[in-house]
Each structure stands twice: as structure tokens, then as C-alpha cells.
Amino acid sequence: MLSLADRITVVRERIAAAARRAGRDPGDVRLVGVTKTHPPDLVRAALNAGLTDFGENRVQEGEAKISALAAERGSMTWHLIGHLQTNKARRAAALFDVIHSVDDLRVAEALSRGRAGSNPGAVRTRIEGRGPDPQDSVAEPLPILLQVNVSGEMTKEGFDLAVWEAQPGRFDGFCSEVERILSLPHLRVCGLMTIAPWGDVPEGARPAFRSTRRLRDQLARRFPGASWHDLSMGMTDDFEVAIEEGATIVRVGRAIFGERH
Ligand SMILES: *Cc1c(COP(=O)(O)O)cnc(C)c1O
């Protein structure tokens, strides 16, 4: 049996090899360890083994682990990678460092309000009834990714961009939502996230990853003022293919922490 530290090393080596195959710098791929269903002690062990980025797919489960590891909070980056509902957005904005799963304008609006509300300066301004003071605008905008569904798989998650390359109307409709999200004051859009359709072989995920990268490139042309650097794509079964197609963030659970029960 490999130790946790060994499994992290093996995943890092596979990431580096995939990056080199694609002529990319391995340092440009960030590894997020997905800890859903696993206890805080295992998360701490991974932190001690050198992992710094952690992904949870539920706000409540994430909150429990983030509080259990409050003493280590400063050396961890917490990513919310699962579907987010509007009524949990405020909480999520206060807890997490990066939200990968924004797939709705209303959720984005709630996150922006939540980030503003978690800014002590903003709260003080409201209470004292003063106008906004530039000195109070200390909260960094919350980094987010827009989750897209390019495969047309039957799931409610992700902006529906199946067949976007064949139907320009689909892309234009998405762009008008993107424009409104980009205008939200307390968010910073960093790129796209996608989940490949379920399949038997890693190669099966390639078309979805490639389509997501092309979509990102189109958005960068349409909205050159925003950053579209990040592509969060690839999990245990397909992260190497995702890196070959340009992933800058991979979300890996089972290859590090073992099967979930
Ligand atoms: C669970 C999960 C992962 C990790 O999946 P593994 O197959 O265990 O690597 C990645 N992304 C999302 C959105 C998940 O829910």
C-alpha cells in the first residue's frame, strides 16, 4: 500500500509528465485534492504531506472541515467544486477561496453580495450610514470559474453550451450572461470549469476538454478585459488528457484519497 504522501507524489509525477508531453510547464497546473466524504484528519495529513489546495462539493460539508481545520486555514486554499444554490451562496462566499461551479446569473449575484457582506469595511459603512469609503473596500473580489456543460449530457449543472460551435446563438446567449457576471463588483472571473461526460476510457473525455478550451479562447476574444486564464478540468480518470488539452487546475479525489464509501 502506498502512503498518502506517496500517492500525492505519484499524482504530481503524472501531472508533470502530461504537461511535458503537451509542451507545457508542469508548474502551470494546480492540483486540487478533492476531500468530499473524507474526515478532517485525512485532510490535515494531506496538508502535512505538502498539498495546499482542497476541493469540496457541498457547502455544509466544506464548512465543517474548514472549521475543524481553522488553525491551518492560512496555509490552505479551499475550492468549492460542487453545484451551488442561491440560498447557500452567501455562506459559500464567506467560506471558500475559489468557487468553480458558478452556472447561473442569480448565483453569481448572490455570491457578489455575499462577498461584499463578508467585508468588515462594507459592514461598518452600512452601520454608520456613511457613503462608501475607498479605504473600506479591502475585501478582494472572490475568484470564480463559470461551469459549462459542452457535452449535452443530461445534467442540470453548468451553463448549457452543448453544440455551441454549431449554433452561434447559443454562444451569443451565453455571452450576454457572461457580460452581466463580469459587471458584478465583488467577483473576479478567472476562467471555465467543466466535468467530462462519464465514459469507459480517458480518451473519451478529450472532445469535451477541447471544446471547453476553444470556448475559453472565444470568450477571451469577446471579453479581452477579463482574465480567462484558468481551465478547471480533469479528475482521477481523465486528468492527464485534460492537461494535454490545456487544464490549469485538476480536481483529483480517488487517486489521492482512495475510493469513497
Ligand atoms: C468528486 C469530484 C471530483 C473528484 O473526482 P475523482 O474521480 O475522485 O477524482 C472532481 N470534480 C468534482 C466536481 C467532483 O464532484
- How high is the pLDDT of residue 127? 52
Digit-coded pLDDT (tens) for 240-253: 999 999 999 999 99
Cell of 35: 476531500
Share of the chain above pLDDT 70, in %: 92
Mean of the per-residue pLDDT values of the chain: 92
pLDDT at position 121 over 90 = no
Q: What is the pLDDT of residue 124?
A: 46
Among 78, 89, 31, residue whose Cα is nearest residue 56: 78
DSSP state, 186? Answer: T
Would you say the CB of residue 195 lies under 6 angstroms from ligand 1? yes
pLDDT at 40: 98
- C-alpha 222 to ligand 1 mean position (Å): 30
Mean pLDDT, residues 155-169 taken together: 89
Tell me the pLDDT band of 123, cut-offs 50, 70 and 90.
very low
Q: What is the pTM of this model?
A: 0.92
* Mean predicted confidence (pLDDT) in 16-28: 98
Q: What is the pLDDT of residue 155?
A: 73
Cell of 237: 480518470
Amino acid found at 77? T
Could you tell me the pLDDT band of residue 198, with boundaries at 50, 70 and 90? confident
Q: What is the pLDDT of residue 26?
A: 97
Instruction: List the beta bridge partners of residue 148.
Output: 159
Ligand 1 binding pocket includes 34 (Cβ within 6 Å): yes
Look at ligand 1, atom 8, and give the residue with the nearest C-alpha.
253
- Closest ligand 1 atom to residue 82 Cα is 13
> Contact 107/130 with Cβ under 8 angstroms?
no
Q: Is the dihedral of CA 117, 227, 233, 102 positive or negative?
A: positive
Cell numbers of 76, please?
490552505
Residue 253 alpha carbon to ligand 1 centre in Å: 6
CA dihedral 214, 219, 222, 228 (to 10 degrees): -120
Cell triple for residue 6? 506517496
pLDDT at position 128 over 70: no
Of 140-144, 151-155, 225-229, which range is least confident?
151-155
Distance 15 CA to ligand 1 centre (A): 16
**Is a pLDDT exceeding 90 seen at residue 156?**
no
Closest-lying ligand 1 atom to the alpha carbon of residue 101: 13
